[in-house]
Amino acid sequence: MTKQRTFYSREFKLAILSQVEAGIPVAQVARENGLHPTLVTRWKKEYLEDPEKAFSGLGHPYMDQARVAELERMVGKLYAENMFLKKNLGDNERTSRGSEKEISIPERYKMIWQNQRDPYRIRVRTAADLLNVSKSGYYDWLKRKGHNPRRCRDKPVLEKIRKIIREYPG
């Protein structure tokens, strides 16, 4: 048989805390009311942190904190996307003001490539969506243009190998 979880009302919790504040030890108050002393201590801590908001719900204060954290992440993501668009499309708009010139696909790919070197970069998928290009097209462009990170990293080593081969043929 499973044990039902007990929910205590705000009034009950405040009555328990008033007994503790009257000088009765936490252990005694807990024993008399069939509670664990740790529970009473947690209620006291929660009440001291913010008496107005204490015991407002059904015992799930972490849900509000999680929602706030989720909204803060969303604001950060939107801020990064906004900065990306301002930096890339705002510059282009200033240079081509008055003309109806559309940004070419390779120029959009270059914007994504430059974004990946930015400390506040956004995901390639997000940048591609914002610029109306495909992610796979961007990666194909990288291969064609030689912007492959591995190739850039290996380039000095390959030059040394080719130099040694030229110096010592055979």
Per-residue pLDDT tens over the stretch 71-81: 999 999 999 88
Q: Count the Cβ atoms, other than its own, within 10 Å of residue 15.
A: 13
Q: What is the pTM of this model?
A: 0.46
More confident call, 10 vs 97:
10
Local structure of 54: helix, strand or coil: coil
Q: Quote the tokens at residue 86.
A: 């301002």
User: Tokens for 63?
Assistant: 């849900």
> What pLDDT is attached to residue 59?
55
Going by the DSSP 8-state scheme, the letter that residue 103 receives in this structure is P
Q: Which residues lie closer than 8 Å to 133 by C-beta, 6 or more apart?
A: 105, 108, 109, 112
pLDDT for position 22: 93
At 125, list the tokens. 């998928």
pLDDT tens for 90-109 read 765 544 455 556 888 888 98
47's CB contacts (< 8 A; 6+ apart) are 13, 14, 17, 54, 55
Residue 13 has pLDDT above 80, yes or no: yes
pLDDT digits over 131-151, tens only? 999 999 999 988 887 666 677
Task: Name residues whose C-beta falls within 8 Å of residue 149's C-beta, 6 or more positions apart in sequence.
Answer: none
CA distances in angstroms from 66 to 24, 53, 62, 150, listed in the order given: 36, 16, 6, 39
What pLDDT is attached to residue 92? 58
- What is the band of 84 on the pLDDT scale with cuts at 50, 70, 90? confident
Instruction: Give the pLDDT of residue 66.
Output: 79
Burial group, residue 152, by CB count within 10 angstroms (0-12, 13-18, 19+): exposed
